Chains A and B, each alone.
Chain A
């Protein structure tokens, strides 16, 4: 029995490690290549003296930190707007019955499915006429359009897992409905909020077409800036690879940081 178990654990290790490597491969390859000296970039060789010269060059040539700041401002604000508007809406959809509830839900859903390309010209005109072109606000508004539906739908499924009886018993104990929401329900969907925030942050961080059209130099986000390493004369791999790694890095840090809150389980069962 012990033996069988041990063997199965070893198989588990091998399986999971292999799969992880398969998925990690391209990123690992890019990470290794980003430390290669320029002249070795087009060879598969793995023997080289790592250099950070590429990183320095990439950072200085695109004004990296100002783009990083822009990306942070835009993504954090988008998350905040989505949560402020989306949380109550999701709660409302779960806890209350009303006419046209389903149609409203699917209408919201269909906005999420709209390809940004289809809306980009109209959004440009909209922000031009409101004089917001080139501001952070324009990008935040546009990207919240493409993330608010996601927030509502994800949070809706988290709220569904919180039994109404919990809130009711709190109200019997003398809480108001709002108090019950803040004291009982909101903490229970904490992991849900973390998960939703991470996705909204991710999608607004990685958005490309919308910030491309709505920003200028002072408000350009990282993904827009790093595409500048693809020019009509080819791809500047020596700078694109380090810049890409640096673009992904904040997200990875965020993922590591928040993962222990999500790992507890997407709320289900936490209360069952």
Chain B
């Protein structure tokens, strides 16, 4: 009886439900009109790929063995991933790679503060600004290739600078323990300007009056930064760091062009591992399982970023 009651309770108020839905639409027609095109567009195009990927992850599809019968094999792909040494290794490498973002943010903010400090004293600051932001514009695939050229034994620039300083035998790209550091350095080179670009523009827009007051009070540079600049610029720094973090999941081209994940899997971060599963070994289903796990990971991360930023969001209401 009870169960039926609950069911009936669920079924009973369709009129109420549609009424609330109607009033919801009536109250919210403006935001719905503004936002729904984006939501529908994104849904339309990502829904099919996501369902398809999840479905594939439970099967045993190989791109190269389509003559074989396709079966559902449950969670086998997932358990294989979680127990694989290579996958653990890739996850650790990914964390190392992501930690480089902290350095990028610190350097980028420092650079922006430095440039901002001298803006009115140095002529042609605009030229410096453009020159400093150039690394962002280098196509990632090209920058990977370019750095391979720079690190090249005998003919590379780095090799020659190294031998000038007496350090010629640093195996930047040839040592599986050092290669990740090289990858992080290249990443810092390419993305610090990105943080700088955004933060500098933000600093330029800060009001001038507090600084004048601080100058009159004789506050030190550090104090001015700590108690004036940093609090005022925090939202833009957060935005820059967050954008960088989000974009970092797309990192693949540079590493692929530079090392293909080697030597000895030394620079194999998760996207490279995923690419290899999909297109070097053609294990479509296993690759799909990795993609799903990355997706879950991203959603968790997205939620925690959400909590981190919820203050800001609420402030805006």
Q: Which residues of A contact B (CB under 8 A)?
A: 9, 12-13, 15-17, 19-20, 23-27, 29-30, 33, 41-44, 85-86, 88-89, 91-99, 102, 104-106, 108-123, 125-126, 141-142, 144-146, 148-150, 152-154, 157, 160, 191, 195, 202-203, 205-206, 208-209, 222-223, 226-227, 230, 235, 237, 240, 244, 247-248, 251-252, 255-256, 259-260, 262-270, 272
Whether A27 lies near B135 (C-beta < 8 A) is yes
Whether A206 lies near B139 (C-beta < 8 A) is yes
Q: How far is the CB of A40 from chain B (nearest CB, A)?
A: 10
Whether B30 lies near A115 (C-beta < 8 A) is no
- B231 within 8 Å of A by Cβ? no
- A residues within 8 A CB of B246? 109, 112-113, 149-150
Whether B142 lies near A96 (C-beta < 8 A) is no
Closest to A43 in B: B155
Q: How far is the CB of B112 from chain A (nearest CB, A)?
A: 11
Whether B193 lies near A85 (C-beta < 8 A) is no
Q: Which of B7-15, B44-52, B74-82, B167-175 contacts A (4 or more CB under 8 A)?
A: B44-52
Q: Which of under 10, 10 to 19, 20 to 34, or 35 or more describes the interface residues of B?
A: 35 or more
Whether A269 lies near B294 (C-beta < 8 A) is no
Q: Known contacts A119-B49, A157-B235: does B205 contact A267 (CB below 8 Å)?
A: yes
Q: Known contacts A27-B135, A105-B313: does B249 contact A114 (CB below 8 Å)?
A: yes
Q: How far is the CB of A3 from chain B (nearest CB, A)?
A: 14
Q: Known contacts A111-B46, A122-B48, A145-B45: does B30 contact A96 (CB below 8 Å)?
A: yes
- B residues within 8 A CB of A252? 130, 134, 137
What is the interface of chain B mostly: helix, strand, loop, or mixed? helix
- B residues within 8 A CB of A123? 49
A125 to B55 alpha-carbon distance, docked (Å):
14
- B145 within 8 Å of A by Cβ? yes
- B69 within 8 Å of A by Cβ? no
- A residues within 8 A CB of B236? 157, 266, 268
A148 to B40 alpha-carbon distance, docked (Å):
12
In residues 13-71 of chain B, which contact A (Cβ within 8 Å)?
A: 24, 28, 30-35, 37-39, 41-42, 45-46, 48-50, 52-53
Whether A29 lies near B129 (C-beta < 8 A) is no
Whether B250 lies near A256 (C-beta < 8 A) is no
